[in-house]
Amino acid sequence: MFKHTSRILAVLIFGLVFSACGALPGGPTPVPSITSQFDGGDSAAPPATESQSEVVVEASTSTPVPVAAEQAGAPTNTLQALLPTATLPPAATPTPAFSPTATPEFCDWAAYIEDVIVDVPVEQGTAVMPGTHFTKTWHVQNIGGCVWTPDYRLVWDSGNQFDAPDEIMLDQIALPGDTIDISISLVAPYDSGTHSGTWYLMNANGETFGYGEDADTPLPVTLQVHDLPGNIIYDFFKAHCLAEWHTGQASYLPCEGTADGKIGWVRTDNDPALEHRTAGNSTVLNVHPNNKDNGYIQGFFPPITIQDGYTFISTIGCMDEASRCSVMFQLNYELEDGTIGAVQEWPEKMDGQIKIVKADLSDLSGLTVRLILQVNQNDGRTANANVFWQNPRIEQE
């Protein structure tokens, strides 16, 4: 009896549930189409209908949750599974070379960062010898909206031209934001005093531009030329800090060193004692080779062009305390291609006599050279090779 009653109750319950829920559909609920922000919009998925929900998935680092909706008339016995959408890593954003906060006001526009004088290590306005050759370099940034092509050029504008051509080609490319070096070879005037000149940049259409608020300020160069007495053309003493000094143990020596180093030195001595003359001597350029066998010291001076009638003159000798001094003084030169040659040499030892020496430079007339003051240890002890150049100069007769 209880078994029969149970079967009747089960049938009644099933009927109530069936009538409350309605008939079951003929197949599984289809998956709605999913549109992502990464989708380019060319998907072949059918358009959504009123009975089909469309879910937009925002880009996220988390996996989107699938959302299902009913769709009438779906194919029978078809199962469409919703697979999780893979998380895409953020695309790498390249860093541009120049990212102005606003569109540049000018197509061609420069920012003048700094200037350097190569070959002659001086600041703007520093005094140099007459006729000194040097390379002027400006560090300039392209802050305009246009590319500087190799057809752009540097053109002389006003002031002293320093023996430079009227224009030189840029011969390089500068994209907006790039910083480049613009260099030009110049020659210091023979007249003493302050000399200035200006240069503009010019585009391929022949339009000039510069730096500053209105892109119209030219690039400057200012140079001070020493005032030399009489027929003196070049003063090595005044220019000694513009020279490059080397020894057998040092590729670089400061132009005002200390007289206590084994690597050698060059320095100014304003109250020197010279070969038994302990007082009343004029200022000298005291030099000392490195303290080793075959020690030497060289000073390479900035390039000049030798002219007819040029004569090198100097007083040479040993410092008074160098009792066993024995050295060889030399005047040499370096050509533009790096070739080094000798002009003249003079042996010197501690003998109580200082000497005035001369060298005719006429064989170098017309050549641009770097003159070299050199002292070699000769047959004495290098530790005693403590010597001087006094008033080394070039005169024109």
What residues contact 84, with CB distance under 8 A and at least 6 apart?
Answer: 63, 64, 66
What residues contact 236, with CB distance under 8 A and at least 6 apart?
Answer: 243, 285, 299, 301, 314, 371, 373, 389, 392, 393
Q: Take residue 33 and report the two structure tokens written for it.
A: 């189409």
Q: What pLDDT does residue 277 have?
A: 86
Distances in Å between the Cα of 181 and the Cα atoms of 113, 131, 135, 212, 301 are 10, 24, 12, 18, 24
**pLDDT tens-digit map of 210-219:** 999 999 999 9
Q: Which helix (H) or strand (E) holds 310?
A: strand 310-318
Q: What pLDDT does residue 1 have?
A: 43
Q: What pLDDT does residue 124 have?
A: 59
**pLDDT tens-digit map of 155-200:** 999 999 999 999 999 999 999 999 999 999 999 999 999 999 999 9
Q: Is 384 exposed, middle or buried (0-12, 13-18, 19+ CB in 10 A)?
A: buried
Question: Is the fold of 110-225 the same as that of 232-396?
Answer: no
Residue-wise DSSP of 20-61: HH-PPPSSPPPPPPEEETT--S---PPPP-TTS--EEEPP-S
Question: Does the pLDDT at position 89 exceed 70?
Answer: no
**pLDDT tens-digit map of 346-388:** 999 999 999 999 999 999 999 999 999 999 987 766 778 999 9
Judging by DSSP bridges, how do beta strands 133-142 and 127-128 pair with one another? unpaired
Question: Does the pLDDT at position 30 exceed 80?
Answer: no
Q: Of 49-53, 161-165, 316-320, 332-336, give the lowest mean pLDDT range.
A: 49-53
Question: What type of residue sits at position 358?
Answer: K
Per the confidence metrics, is the pTM higher than 0.75? no
Q: Where are the domains of the chain?
A: 110-225, 232-396
- Give yes or no for a contact between 72 and 52, defined as CB atoms under 8 angstroms apart: no
- Give yes or no for a contact between 289 and 297, defined as CB atoms under 8 angstroms apart: yes
Question: What type of residue sits at position 59?
Answer: A
Q: If you average pLDDT over residues 274-288, what whole number do you get?
A: 92
**pLDDT tens-digit map of 96-127:** 344 444 577 889 888 877 655 555 545 555 68
Q: Of 93-107, 131-145, 226-240, 308-322, give the lowest mean pLDDT range.
A: 93-107
- Out of 3.10.20.30, 2.60.40.10, 3.60.20.10, 2.50.20.10, select the CATH number for domain 110-225: 2.60.40.10
Question: Does the pLDDT at position 224 exceed 80?
Answer: yes
Q: What pLDDT does residue 116 have?
A: 54
Mapping DSSP to helix (H, G, I), strand (E, B) and coil, where does residue 89 land?
Answer: coil
Distance CA 393, CA 355 (A): 15
- Out of 3.30.1300.10, 3.20.20.70, 2.60.120.200, 2.60.40.10, select the CATH number for domain 232-396: 2.60.120.200
**Cα 160–chain centre separation:** 27
Judging by DSSP bridges, how do beta strands 244-247 and 219-225 pair with one another? unpaired
Mapping DSSP to helix (H, G, I), strand (E, B) and coil, where does residue 3 land?
Answer: helix
Cα dihedral across residues 138, 142, 146, 149: positive or negative: positive
Question: Does the pLDDT at position 9 exceed 50?
Answer: no
Mapping DSSP to helix (H, G, I), strand (E, B) and coil, where does residue 316 land?
Answer: strand
Question: Does the pLDDT at position 312 exceed 80?
Answer: yes
Q: If you average pLDDT over residues 123-135, what whole number do you get?
A: 81
